[in-house]
Amino acid sequence: MATLAPWAIAADPLKIGLILPMTGPFASTGRQVDAAVKLYLAQNGATVAGRTVEVLLKDDAGIADQTRRLAQELVVNDKVVALAGFGLTPLAFATAPIATQSKTPMVVMAAATSSITERSPFIVRTSFTLPQVTLGIAEWASSHDVKTAVTLVADYAPGIDAEKTFKDRFTLNGGKVLTELRVPVANPDFAPFLQRVRDAKPDALFVFVPSGVGASFMKQFAERGLDKAGIRLLATGDVVDDDLLNGMGDAALGVISSHHYSAAHPSALNKKFVAAFEKANAGMRPNFMAVGGYDGMHLILQGLKTTKGAGGQALLDAMKGQTFESPRGPVLIDAQTRDIVQDVYIRKVERVDGQLYNVEVDAMKAVKDPGKAK
Ligand code: DHB
């Protein structure tokens, strides 16, 4: 080990630009990712190659023009080694050209439309993709006596990914999708859509809404008595988000979903992660957004250790192919697609020690994004 040169202390910090919706309708995503990034740094030390790692947090309020402008400033003025965050698909899409032009690695910690990673060769993802997590629930439906379904998704790219993946697989297995419903992305009124679901009388309703919206969906689902009308609720884990689940009440009990992360994942690493996260954040439970942020920081810091602080193509190459244990389970950053390969779980909402949790009941190992398998 070389001794630390005196001037190393004064070396420029390594800056990471973290752009998140900290205000606006998707502020819960920003709050979760930011808290997880801070926790990772607190637990793992914030120095690489003798240089301090500094995270510059910027609020884009969920507005794509803001994300792009902030990314440009972080690259040009602050000379960040990496851009990170991206709470919604349109925000990631808007920033992709900046990553490409400036050759700055862009770590997508939250947004989950399959095609995002194809928008720039400098994009790496630690969240998930909608096709990746939807296949499992479509298979579950086919093998649990669900013959007919209605789909209800948020009307933008990840919702379209979920709708198509569910329909393709469920139909391939002999099921029939009776109606496909698309609801506005922010603050949707579900009532008219739920009436159409009731009228269609499907065996099951499949739902995707982004993080933060699930509680209002669940409330209206129960208020309109769909839970008692014999229509099974199937969802991606975005709907029964750990951030909101405990407040959803009995209406959520028994809901089956598929996703890559549950706060109830029974590994030693996850138990430590959840306990530390709750302790540092006044009891807030980490959700899948938090895990995307935590693993994104891990990926960037491991990469910077390899490159001894260099960014650009070297950092990108150092992130490709990384494997590590995440609180969600084992993960791999596919060197070819730069997308995450991970286990996807079937979960059921149950009450555990007085609190609602997504209890994992089955797992599919090392699932690649099926959006790219073609
Ligand atoms: C996206 C946002 C979410 O909050 C979510 O749960 C899934 C996908 C997105 O915009 O990509």
Query: pLDDT tens digits for 284-302?
Result: 999 999 999 999 999 999 9
Asked if 185 contacts 217 with a C-beta cutoff of 8 angstroms, the reply is: no
Query: pLDDT tens digits for 113-143?
Result: 999 999 999 999 999 999 999 999 999 999 9
- Phi/psi at 354 (5° precision): 80, 0
In this prediction, residue 187 carries a pLDDT of 85
Dist. CA 339–CA 321, nearest whole Å: 10
Helices (H), 103-129: none
Going by alpha carbons, the residue nearest to atom 3 of ligand 1 is 210
**Can you tell me which atom of ligand 1 is nearest the CA of 88?**
10
For 243, the token pair is 């951030």
Task: Please tell me if the CB atom of residue 211 comes closer than 6 angstroms to any atom of ligand 1.
Answer: yes
Dist. CA 107–CA 316, nearest whole Å: 10
Q: Is 36 helix (H, G, I), strand (E, B) or coil?
A: helix
Residue 170: name the closest of 153, 199, 148, 200 by CA: 148
Q: Which residue has the higher pLDDT, 187 or 243?
A: 243
Sign of the four-CA dihedral 133, 138, 141, 142 = negative
Cα 154 to averaged position of ligand 1 atoms, centre (Å): 10
Residue 56: name the closest of 29, 84, 35, 76 by CA: 84
Going by alpha carbons, the residue nearest to atom 11 of ligand 1 is 111
In this prediction, residue 45 carries a pLDDT of 79
Over residues 140-162, mean pLDDT? 98
Q: What is the DSSP string of 233-246?
A: EEEETTTT-TTTGG
Helices (H) and strands (E) in the chain, counts: 11, 15
Asked if 39 contacts 276 with a C-beta cutoff of 8 angstroms, the reply is: yes
Going by alpha carbons, the residue nearest to atom 5 of ligand 1 is 210
Asked if 159 contacts 175 with a C-beta cutoff of 8 angstroms, the reply is: no
In this prediction, residue 337 carries a pLDDT of 98
Task: Please tell me if the CB atom of residue 120 comes closer than 6 angstroms to any atom of ligand 1.
Answer: no
Average pLDDT, the chain: 96
Dist. CA 48–CA 286, nearest whole Å: 26
How many other C-beta atoms lie within 10 A of the C-beta of residue 209? 26
Sign of the four-CA dihedral 359, 29, 122, 74 = negative
Candidates 19, 20, 29, 156: which one to mutate for ligand 1, based on the most atoms within 8 Å of Cβ?
29
Band (148; pLDDT cuts 50, 70, 90): very high
Cα 88 to averaged position of ligand 1 atoms, centre (Å): 5
Query: pLDDT tens digits for 78-102?
Result: 999 999 999 999 999 999 999 999 9
Task: Please tell me if the CB atom of residue 113 comes closer than 6 angstroms to any atom of ligand 1.
Answer: yes
Query: pLDDT tens digits for 197-207?
Result: 999 999 999 99
In this prediction, residue 236 carries a pLDDT of 98
Dist. CA 323–CA 332, nearest whole Å: 4
Q: What is the largest CA-CA distance in the chain?
A: 74
Cα angle value 240/242/248 (rounded, 5°) = 55
In this prediction, residue 7 carries a pLDDT of 52
| pLDDT > 70? residue 267 | yes
Cα 333 to averaged position of ligand 1 atoms, centre (Å): 19
Give the H/E segment covering residue 107: strand 106-108
Burial grade of 267 (CB within 10 A; 0-12, 13-18, 19 or more): middle
Residue 360: name the closest of 237, 193, 215 by CA: 237
**Can you tell me which atom of ligand 1 is nearest the CA of 288?**
6
To the nearest 5 percent, what fractions of the chain are helix, strand and coil? 40, 25, 35
Percent of the chain with pLDDT over 90: 93
Task: Please tell me if the CB atom of residue 242 comes closer than 6 angstroms to any atom of ligand 1.
Answer: no
Task: Please tell me if the CB atom of residue 62 comes closer than 6 angstroms to any atom of ligand 1.
Answer: no
For 155, the token pair is 């009307």
